[in-house]
Amino acid sequence: MIGALALATAARTLEELDQARVQAHETALTAHAVRALSSVPGLRLYGAADPDRLDDRVGVVSFNLGSLDHGLVAAVLGYEGGIGVRNGCFCAQQYVAHLLGLTPADEDRRCRARRAGLPWPKPGMVRASFGLYNTCEEIDLLVDMLHRIASGDYAGTYEPLMNGAEYLPMS
């Protein structure tokens, strides 16, 4: 019952908002993110990257950071930066594999390694999502943390889990 009431209240609140204003805020956040992320060495942004042409883009940015595993980047952002992101293929494995330029042979090698019990990183990306409740300052924190990760300036030592997509801090 509490969940239903909370959902109804949230829906009513969203209906009362000026949707054009909400969309403008999200577009401004996304433009700020695209501009700021372009300053991170080695960062590859997927999707529209022109901050002045984001009409068809929602407040989501997917990226990889150099040769670092997406799971490691997400773990450092979460554990050391307190920044919630997702990583992996986002239920779009074939599309992500296409964007990453992976071939069927790459997937075959990964599957053989998994069957042999060897850790093999799963392909994927890191995804940050922005919405009504976010600020440009929060995006700046994400970008600052990515600069630190790119330069190897993070405190923990991280160990990959056998699933090949997640990392846990060891120290």
Residues catalogued as catalytic: 91
Kindly state the tokens that stand for 23: 């969309």
- The secondary structure element, H or E, covering residue 138 is helix 136-150
Token pair 């997406």 is found at 70
Nearest to 77 by CA among 32, 125, 44, 18: 125
Spatial contact of 142 and 76, defined as CB atoms under 8 Å apart: no
Spatial contact of 131 and 23, defined as CB atoms under 8 Å apart: no
